[in-house]
Amino acid sequence: MIPMMESIRSACARGLTLAPVAALLLSVAILLLGNGLLGTLLIVRAGQEEFPSGAIGAMMSFYFAGFTIGALALPRVIVSVGHVRTFAGFAAIASMTALLHVVFVEPLGWVPLRMVTGFAYAGMILATESWLNAHALPSTRGQLLSMFGIVSMGSWALGQALLNIAPPADVTLFLIVSLLISAAVVPITLLPSHPPAEVRQEPVAFRDLLSVSPLATVGVFLGGLAMGGFWGMGPIFAQRIGLDTGGISAFMAAVLGGTLLLQWPLGWFSDRVSRSLIIAGAALASAIAAVGVAFAAEAPLPLLLAAGALFGGFGIPIYSLCVAVAIDDLPARRQLGTVRGLLLLNGIGSAAGPLIGGATMNLVGPGGLFFYSAALMIVLAFLAIVGKRSGRPSETKTIMCPSTPMITGALDAMIQNQGDDARR
C-alpha cells in the first residue's frame, strides 16, 4: 500500500500541476495570437491611413488606461460570475471591438475602441492569473506563471507572422483577429477543465499592497515603467538607429525570443531558491543588457540582437516573478485582490513608460531609452537584495494538490485512505 500511496503523491506533484489548467493555457494561446496580430495591424493600418503620430500615441495610452481601469474594477465581476464566464464575456467584447475598427477608420473612433479593448483584456488576464495562482503550490507557482509567460510571448510573436496573410488595408485580418478571440473561448468552455473552487475574496486596498509584499509592489511598477517604455518606443529606437523594416522586426523578435528561452528557467529556479534573489539577478542582468543595447546601436546587427534578447529574456519575466512573491504567503481569499492591485500598478507603469522613455530619447538620443530602463532595473535589483527573503526549500512541505474542487478532494481522500490502510 505504501508504494501506491507514494505513486499518488508523485502523480499529484507532477501531472496534476498542469492538467487542471491545460485548457486555460490553450485558450490564452489562441487569445493572444489574435491580440498580437491586432496590435501590429492597427499601427500599420494607422500609418497607411496617415493618422497623426499623436493619435497613434493616444491609442497606446488609452489601451493602457482601459487596462488599468479594468484591473481596478473587474475583480468583483470574477467573484460574482466566476472565472470561466468572466473570460468568455470579455472575449466576446474584445471580438466585437476588433471588428468595429473596420467600421470606424478614424482616430476618434479607434482611440476609445483601444480603451475598451484594454478594459476587456484586463478582465481576461485577471481571470487567467488568479486561476493559475489558485492551482499552484509554492513549489510550482513560479513554473506555472513562467509557462503562462511563455505561452503569452510565444503566441504574441506568432501573431506577427499572420500580418502577411492579407493586406492591412483589407478587412480580412480584422476578421481573423475576431475569429481567433472567439475561438479562445472554446477550450475552457468545452474541454475538460477545473476552475478553482469558489473562495470568498477579501479586498486588498491599494495602500496595503506595500505591507503585503513591498518587493512585488515596487517590482511590478518599476518593471512596467521599464518594459512599457520598450514596448512603446522600442520600434522607434530601432528606426532612429537606422534599421530598415526587416531589422526592426528582427530586433523586436530577438527580445521576444530571449523571453521564450529564459522565462521557464527563471521560474524553475525561483521555485527552488529565494525568489527575491532571482528577481535581483534578473533585474541586474537586464540592466547590463540594456546598457549593451544602447552601446550596440552602431555595432553589427547580430550583437544588437543578442543584447536585445538578454534584455527581454531577463526583464520581461520580472512581472511574473513578482506576482509569485506576493502570492506565496497569502490565503486564497486575498489572492485575487492582490493580483488586481499588482496588475493595476503594472498598468500605470506601462502607460507612463513610453512617455518617460520618449522624453529621455529626445534628451540624450535613441540609446536614452535603454539607459532609462537600465536605471530602473538597477534600483529594483538593489531593493530585492536589501529585502531578500530566506531561501525556499527545494521540496514542498505539503502533499496537497492544486486547489480544485474535484481533483483535490478525491486525491486527498485516496491518500488518507491508503495511509489508514498502511497503519492497520
**Is residue 91 in a domain?**
yes
Give yes or no for residue 125 having a pLDDT over 70. yes
| CA 88 – CA 188 distance, rounded (Å) | 9
From 80-84, 137-141, 216-220, 253-257, the region with the lowest mean pLDDT? 137-141
pLDDT at 119: 92
Identify the domain boundary among 144, 163, 190. Answer: 190
Write out the three cell numbers for 345.
500598478
d(CA 231, CA 288): 19
Give residue 182's pLDDT band: very low, low, confident or very high (50, 70, 90). very high
CA 76 vs CA 72, 90, 123, 184: distances in Å:
9, 14, 10, 23
Q: Are residues 174 and 319 in the same domain?
A: no
213 and 161 inside one domain? no
- Domain assignment of residue 68, given as a range: 14-190
What's the CATH code of the domain at 308? Answer: 1.20.1250.20
Quote the pLDDT of residue 222.
Answer: 94
Q: How does residue 381 score in pLDDT terms, banded at 50, 70 and 90?
A: very high
Confidence of residue 120 (pLDDT cuts 50, 70, 90): very high
Q: Does residue 379 form part of some domain?
A: yes
Q: What is the mean pLDDT of residues 238-264?
A: 80
Q: Does residue 312 register a pLDDT over 70?
A: yes
Q: What is the pLDDT of residue 401?
A: 29
The predicted structure's pLDDT at residue 368: 92
- CA separation for the pair 178, 113 (Å, rounded): 14
pLDDT at residue 374 tops 80: yes
Give how many domains the chain has, as a whole number: 2
Between CA 342 and CA 326 the distance in angstroms is: 9
Domain co-membership, 74 together with 45: yes
Residue 372 has pLDDT above 90, yes or no: yes
Q: Is position 344 within any domain?
A: yes
Which range has the worst mean pLDDT, 47-56, 98-107, 234-243, 377-386? 47-56
Question: Is there a single domain that holds both residue 228 and residue 135?
Answer: no
H helices within 82-140, ranges in order? 83-103, 107-134
Q: Are residues 156 and 91 in the same domain?
A: yes
pLDDT at 203: 61
164 CB burial (10 A radius; 0-12, 13-18, 19+): exposed
What global pTM score does this model have?
A: 0.67
Q: Give residue-wise pLDDT tens across range 382-399.
A: 999 887 644 444 333 332
Which spans in 241-367 are helix H?
245-270, 275-295, 301-315, 318-327, 335-364
DSSP string, 42-95: HHHHHHHTT--HHHHHHHHHHHHHHHHHHHHHTHHHHHHH-HHHHHHHHHHHHH
333 and 388 both lie in a single domain = yes
Whether residue 405 has pLDDT greater than 50? no
Which tens digits make up the pLDDT trace of 317-342? 898 888 888 877 666 666 667 777 78
Q: Are residues 179 and 213 in the same domain?
A: no
Mean of the per-residue pLDDT values for the chain?
76
Neighbours of 215 (CB within 10 A): 23
Q: Which of 151-155, 166-170, 276-280, 404-408 has the highest mean pLDDT?
A: 276-280
Asked if 338 contacts 327 with a C-beta cutoff of 8 angstroms, the reply is yes
292 pLDDT more than 90: yes
Angle between helical axes of 141-161 and 318-327 (0-180°, round to 10): 150
Q: What is the pLDDT of residue 140?
A: 62
The answer as to whether 197 is a domain residue is no
Q: Is residue 413 part of a domain?
A: no
Tell whether the model's pLDDT for residue 265 goes beyond 80. yes
CB 181 within 8 A of CB 28: no
Number of Cα atoms under 13 Å in the Cβ half of residue 124: 31
For the stretch 142-163, pLDDT in tens is: 666 667 777 877 787 787 678 7
Is there a single domain that holds both residue 175 and residue 312? Answer: no
Residue 171 DSSP code: S
Using DSSP's 3-state secondary structure scheme, residue 104 falls into coil
Mean pLDDT of 129-146: 65
Please say if the pLDDT value at position 43 is more than 60.
Answer: yes
Which one-letter DSSP state was computed for residue 329?
T
Q: Quote the percentage of the chain above a pLDDT of 70.
A: 75
* Length of the chain (residues): 424
pLDDT band per the 50, 70, 90 thresholds, residue 286:
very high
pLDDT band for position 402 (cuts 50, 70, 90): very low
Q: Does 361 map to a domain?
A: yes
Return the pLDDT at 206: 62
Report the chain's terminal Cα–Cα distance, integer Å: 11
Q: What are phi and psi of 386, to 5 degrees?
A: -60, -40
Confidence of residue 205 (pLDDT cuts 50, 70, 90): low
